Amino acid sequence: MARKTKEDSQKTRDAILDGAERVFLDKGIANATMAEIADAAQVSRGAVYGHYDNKLEVCQAMIDRAFALDALRFPAPCASACDTLLAAGTYYLAQFLEPGSPQRVYQILYQKCEQTEENRSVLRRRELADRLTMHYARRQLRRAIAQQELPDRLDVAWPPTTWSACSWACTSCWRPARTRCRAASAFCAARCKACRTRPASCVDDRYSTWRRKHHSARLSVTAAISHSGSSHGQASAKP
C-alpha cells in the first residue's frame, strides 16, 4: 500500500477540521465527541486520533486555521486612520455575516463555547482575540487624533465599545440576508463618522458609562439590521 504524502495528510486534517466545525456548531464544544467528528469528516476514528489526541486539540487547530486565514485576509492599514478603522470594522462584519468557515468558527467561539473548566484554553483564546481587537481599534484612534482626523478631545475608550456592540448584534442573528450586512456596514460607517464630533466623556463612573453606551449601540445595530431585513422582505414581496 502506498504511503500517504504530506498533501494527503493535509487533506485529512482539513476534512477533520471541516467536520469539527459542523459538530461543534451543532453540539457545542462540551458535548461533541471525537467519534462524531470522525463521522462528520467521513474518516475513521483512527485517522482523527492519528492527528489529534483529543477534541480540544481539534478545536485549537480549527481556531488556528481560522486565525491564520484571518491574518492573510485582514485589510492592510490605509494612510487615513479612520479609513483603516472602517475597513477593519467592515471586514469583521463580513466575517460574522457571510456564511462560511470564518462565520462558523466565530459562532462556535462566541455561542457554542461553554463556560467550563475543560474549555478554559479556548476561552482564553477568545479573550485574547477580543483584547487584541480593542487594542488595534484604540491604536488607530490615537493615530487618527495625531493626524488630526479626529478631535483630540475624543474619549478613545468609547468607539471600541461600539465595535464590540456591533459584533454582538451581528452574532445574535447569524445567516441574515446580504442587505443586512450592508445595513450593519452602513451603521459602522456612521459610527466612525460620529467619532469626529463626539465630545470626550466627562462622567467619572466609567464602567456605568461603558455599559450604557454598549447597550445603546447594541440596540441601534440590532434595529438597523432588523429594519434592513424587513425592508428587504417587503421589497421582494412586491410583484
Residue 235: CB partners within 8 Å, gap ≥ 6? none
Which segments of the chain have a pLDDT < 70?
1-4, 157-239
The total of other beta-carbon atoms located within 10 Å of residue 67's CB is: 14
Cell 450592508 belongs to residue: 182
* Domains observed in the chain: 1-73 (1.10.10.60), 76-237 (1.10.357)
pLDDT of residue 181: 53
Q: How many CB atoms lie within 10 A of CB 81?
A: 20
Report CA 146 to chain centroid distance, whole Å: 28
Contacts of 219 (CB under 8 A, 6+ apart): none
Residues 92, 122: Cα–Cα separation, whole Å: 20
Q: Which of 164, 47, 22 is nearest to 107 (CA)?
A: 22
Longest CA–CA span in the chain (Å) reads 73
How much is the pLDDT for 233? 47
Give the C-alpha distances (Å, rounded to integers) separating 82 from 98, 138, 193, 238. 24, 11, 8, 39
> Which residues, 6+ apart, have CB-to-CB distance to 179 below 8 Å?
228, 229, 231, 232
Burial of 204 (0-12, 13-18, 19+ CB in 10 A): exposed
Q: Quote the pLDDT of residue 214.
A: 46
Q: How much is the pTM?
A: 0.69
Q: What is the DSSP letter of 172?
A: T
**In this predicted structure, what is the pLDDT of residue 131?**
86
- How high is the pLDDT of residue 232? 44
pLDDT of the residue at 161: 56
* Helix, strand, coil % over all residues of the chain, rounded to 5: 75, 0, 25
Does residue 21 contact residue 101 with C-beta atoms inside 8 Å? yes
How do residues 54-83 score in pLDDT, each as one tens digit?
Answer: 999 999 999 999 999 888 899 999 999 888
